[in-house]
Copies of this chain bind each other. A is one copy, B any other.
């Protein structure tokens, strides 16, 4: 049995401590703002999700945008308008408190990065949860494929591309991708493994020459950090959950809230569940 944590508001808990905790304790600690960091490696086996929160009037177009671009925007849950609870992903999963930190944008400009958004909640808000790459990274690492950005303890490199998205209302633009260097001999295996996770971006969208998808210098990402690509390795690109966030920011919604990158919403659903709906 895992340690029983007794988090207190204002008391900070470390990532290392939380790694030894079970889902209930991780949730409780985050909810009390006692942990505000990244969620990689926490509550192993449970689906983690990107968050996109907006006013109801934009929700139908955002929904369409996700349906039309499912590889970068793999929708795994949506709330009823005004509800703080994502009931299909957790028994009491509260959108306004259960991610470690949030980014609040007004008219496309980042205003603040609070640890909860309870005081910003409005009766017309709709929250979308979208699958994230942690799921397939866990599967790759379990298969013995190392992740360079994790080895180097940096954020995965992410890039704007010229891969056009199918627009919907105010949402459009190019796909954002993440990159992981992979040994040439592992390419078949990593493609097969990640294809099994359509709710976590699925198989790579591009393997090899970055210029083909509009990336001029792979050592200089648009988000995250550059990582070494060693001899015998090729850059492999997956659709990235920053895509919908980026599109929503560019759409300059009056109010748009996301999780803070890396600080995901941890759900009650098994990361292998398909469909990702709580039974």
Q: Taking beta carbons and an 8 Å cutoff, which residues of A are in contact with B?
A: 56, 59-60, 63-64, 67-68, 70-71, 75, 77-78, 80-81, 88, 126, 166, 168-169, 198, 274-275, 277
* Identical copies of this chain, number: 2
Q: From A278, which residue of chain B is reached at the shortest CB distance?
A: B166
With contact pairs A60-B59, A63-B60, A75-B67 given, residues A80 and B275 touching in the complex (Cβ less than 8 Å):
no
How many Å lie between the Cα of A275 and that of B81 in the bound state?
A: 27
User: Which of the residues B64, B70, B277 comes within 8 Å of A166, measured between beta carbons?
Assistant: B277
Taking the nearest CB of chain B, how far is it from the CB of A125, in angstroms?
13
Q: Is the CB of B88 within 8 A of A166?
A: yes
Chain B residues with Cβ under 8 A from A63's Cβ? 60, 63, 67, 78
How many Å lie between the Cα of A172 and that of B75 in the bound state?
A: 20
Q: From A274, which residue of chain B is reached at the shortest CB distance?
A: B198
Q: Is the CB of A168 within 8 A of B60?
A: no
Q: Is the CB of A67 within 8 A of B78?
A: yes
Give the one of A64, A71, A75 with max B CB within 10 A. A64
Q: Is the CB of A67 within 8 A of B77?
A: yes
Q: Is the CB of B80 within 8 A of A168?
A: yes
Given A63-B67, A80-B168, A80-B169, 18 extra CB contacts under 8 A: A56-B60, A60-B60, A60-B63, A60-B81, A60-B126, A63-B63, A64-B78, A64-B80, A67-B75, A67-B77, A68-B78, A68-B88, A68-B277, A70-B275, A71-B275, A88-B166, A198-B198, A198-B274
